[in-house]
């Protein structure tokens, strides 16, 4: 049985920690929406909206979107009726100031960090390849295309996403350590922080998270 005290959950971790996958599982189990600020920004970019145009360069450079833009998006999203029974918020907050803002708009019940080492993050992201035509993701080690370097579906030459180049991965990890990690103490002080080891397989990590939320 789930611990019903856990209504509003945030989940964070370095790039490629699997936080998005685990957020999906959690949201489904709890029957609440999975809200990912990264996904919101990528949707806006794909849709060619004003906001998308504003943030595209920032995402490609591996930097954080300014707080005043991100905070407003999160506030609006959390005010929607589907969040009334709770939510799983992924990729936000990403710095202390966002954590302070979130504190004013919602009561966070559980802050989960999915931890992986920098070496693991570099290894996981470094192997990613994408089809520029249909968007299918591949991984050299975990999910390779049948023929090296080309998409199984349309034969297009696979590419490395701008924000997944070696240099940008390092920038994103640096941002994570400098800007996001301080939120750990913020949530520790509130007694709602739990660290999950993200190094094992997806299903093992899910089991560990389930143990936390079923306590």
92 binds ligand AMP (CB under 6 A): yes
Those residues whose C-beta lies under 8 Å from the C-beta of residue 208, and which sit 6 or more positions away, are 196, 197
Given a contact cutoff of 8 angstroms between Cβ atoms, the answer to whether 95 and 182 are in contact is yes
Which of 38/152 has CB closer to ligand AMP? 38
111 binds ligand AMP (CB under 6 A): no
Is residue 128 part of the annotated active site? The answer reads yes
64 binds ligand AMP (CB under 6 A): yes
Closest distance to ligand AMP from the beta carbon of 108 (Å): 14
Q: What's the CA gap between 110 and 191, in Å, rounded?
A: 9
Contact pick of 29, 56, 58, 194 for ligand AMP (by CB under 6 A): 58
Is residue 94 part of the annotated active site? The answer reads yes
Q: What's the CA gap between 82 and 70, in Å, rounded?
A: 20
Q: What's the CA gap between 165 and 173, in Å, rounded?
A: 12
Contact pick of 33, 38, 100, 144 for ligand AMP (by CB under 6 A): 38
128 binds ligand AMP (CB under 6 A): no
Distances (CA, A) of 90 to 30, 33, 38, 49, 174: 15, 11, 8, 22, 19
Q: What's the CA gap between 165 and 144, in Å, rounded?
A: 18
Residues 171-200: x where in contact with ligand AMP by CB under 6 A, - otherwise, as a string? -x----------------------------
Q: What's the CA gap between 56 and 200, in Å, rounded?
A: 32
37 binds ligand AMP (CB under 6 A): yes
Is residue 124 part of the annotated active site? The answer reads no
Q: Helices 37-46 and 50-60: crossing angle, nearest 10°?
A: 120
Which residues here bind ligand AMP, judged by CB under 6 A? 15, 37-38, 41, 58-59, 62-65, 70, 91-92, 94, 98, 172
Give me the active site residues, please. 19, 94, 128, 161, 172
């Amino acid at each position: 049985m789930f611990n019903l005290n856990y209504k509003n959950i945030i989940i964070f971790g370095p790039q490629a920690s699997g936080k998005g996958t685990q957020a999906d599982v959690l949201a489904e189990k709890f029957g609440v929406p999975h809200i990912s600020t990264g996904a919101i920004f990528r949707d806006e970019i794909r849709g060619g909206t004003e906001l998308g145009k504003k943030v595209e360069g920032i995402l490609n450079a591996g930097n954080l979107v300014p707080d005043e833009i991100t905070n407003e998006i999160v506030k609006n999203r959390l005010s929607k009726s589907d969040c009334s029974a709770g939510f799983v918020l992924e990729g936000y907050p990403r710095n202390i100031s966002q954590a302070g803002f979130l504190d004013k708009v919602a009561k966070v019940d559980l802050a989960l960090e999915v931890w992986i080492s920098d070496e693991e993050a570099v290894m996981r992201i470094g192997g990613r390849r994408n089809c520029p035509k249909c968007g299918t993701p591949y991984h050299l080690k975990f999910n390779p295309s049948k023929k090296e370097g080309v998409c199984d579906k349309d034969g297009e030459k696979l590419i490395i996403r701008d924000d997944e180049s070696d240099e940008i991965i390092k920038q994103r990890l640096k941002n994570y350590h400098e800007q996001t990690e301080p939120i750990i103490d913020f949530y520790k002080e509130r007694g709602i922080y739990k660290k999950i080891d993200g190094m094992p397989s997806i299903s093992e990590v899910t089991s560990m998270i389930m143990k936390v939320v079923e306590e």
